[in-house]
């Protein structure tokens, strides 16, 4: 179980590190929100569906927050 969590962490880190262009504030917020939502879902011990759902919700909220911050600049 811990092996799966560590592997998932490395996959997410690799995906985030693979970005080679400047991201907008909305995109940055979506990445951070999705990673945070997925991490919280994993730590809470949720099922696969709950973890994916938490990541999707976190990404959506992060995108909206990042877009709002970008628009206020």
Each domain of the chain, given as residue ranges in start order, spans 2-72
pLDDT number for residue 11: 79
User: Longest Cα pair distance anywhere in the chain, in angstroms?
Assistant: 43
In whole angstroms, give the CA distance from residue 38 to residue 6. Answer: 13
pLDDT in tens, 3-56: 788 788 777 777 767 666 787 888 888 988 888 888 888 888 878 888 888 888
Answer whether residue 73 shows pLDDT above 80. no
pTM for this predicted structure:
0.65
Helices (H) then strands (E): counts for the chain: 3, 0
pLDDT number for residue 7: 81
In whole angstroms, give the CA distance from residue 27 to residue 69. Answer: 11
DSSP state of 22: P
Gyration radius of the chain over CA positions:
13
């Amino acid at each position: 179980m811990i092996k799966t969590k560590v592997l998932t962490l490395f996959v997410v880190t690799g995906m985030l590190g693979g970005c080679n262009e400047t991201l907008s504030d909305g995109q940055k917020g979506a990445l951070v929100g999705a990673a945070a939502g997925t991490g919280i879902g994993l730590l809470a011990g949720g099922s696969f569906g709950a973890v994916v759902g938490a990541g999707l919700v976190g990404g959506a909220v992060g995108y909206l927050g990042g877009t709002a911050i970008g628009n206020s600049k």
